[in-house]
């Protein structure tokens, strides 16, 4: 049985949910498989500056903090409150490709890496469209730099990322985070749609496991 965590690196609610899904992962990893699918939330045909969404985020991030207890970092907030000075053009593609590359090295640790990407963006204020945003994680996880960047720019990994976007659409996901538990080839249970607290998600998992 596999837990599918549909997320996007740019999703603020996913950032708020990351401690919840990480705790669930640590608790159930011996009895369930876990798979992270990137959703492709921001894929503009033409690059759009952060200013396009900054006004909305200026209010929305406070709601995420209040509901989840997570904190957004000053370096990220600077771009949200100074969009006219920011050089950010958000795009979900590169972090999704990075996720596919990372899973080559640590196939069972996607949940952990999703949290790392979200922290890098939302707390440390790293631009995930910039190759340099990933360098500190290569050192941390002892991933060969040349290999990683070669794969990050290889068409095969871009194709993998877009396959994940397509699978998320096929699962009829309309917002992030969304969590499913697959119990057979054709049977999926939706466990969470939008931010869900630990107790609620744990209860949903346990109910399905009891049925099985």
pLDDT in tens, the chain (212 residues): 999 999 999 999 999 999 999 999 999 999 999 999 999 999 999 999 999 999 999 999 999 999 999 999 999 999 999 999 999 999 999 999 999 999 999 999 999 999 999 999 999 999 999 999 999 999 999 999 999 999 999 999 999 999 999 999 999 999 999 999 999 988 999 999 999 999 999 999 999 999 87
Please, which residues have CB within 8 angstroms of residue 23's CB and are 6 or more apart in sequence? Answer: 198
In the DSSP assignment, the letter for residue 76 is: H
**d(Cα 200, Cα 179) in Å, to the nearest integer?**
12
pLDDT for 212: 76
Whole-structure pTM value: 0.95
């Amino acid at each position: 049985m596999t837990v599918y965590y549909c997320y996007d690196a740019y999703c603020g609610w996913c950032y708020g949910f990351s401690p919840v899904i990480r705790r669930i992962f640590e608790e159930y990893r011996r009895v369930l498989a876990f798979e992270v699918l990137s959703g492709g939330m921001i894929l503009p045909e033409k690059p759009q500056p952060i200013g396009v969404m900054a006004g909305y985020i200026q209010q929305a991030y406070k709601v995420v903090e209040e509901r989840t207890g997570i904190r957004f970092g000053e370096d990220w907030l600077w771009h949200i409150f100074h969009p006219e000075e920011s050089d950010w053009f958000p795009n979900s593609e590169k972090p999704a490709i990075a996720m596919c590359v990372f899973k080559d090295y640590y196939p069972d640790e996607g949940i952990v890496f999703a949290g790392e990407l979200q922290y890098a963006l939302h707390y440390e204020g790293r631009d995930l469209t910039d190759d340099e945003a990933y360098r500190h994680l290569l050192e941390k996880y002892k991933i060969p730099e040349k290999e990683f960047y070669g794969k990050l720019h290889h068409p095969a990994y871009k194709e993998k990322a877009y396959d994940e976007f397509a699978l998320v659409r096929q699962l009829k996901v309309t917002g992030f985070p969304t969590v499913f538990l697959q119990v057979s080839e054709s049977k999926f249970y939706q466990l969470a749609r939008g931010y869900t607290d630990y107790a609620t998600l744990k209860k949903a998992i346990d109910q399905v496991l009891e049925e099985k």
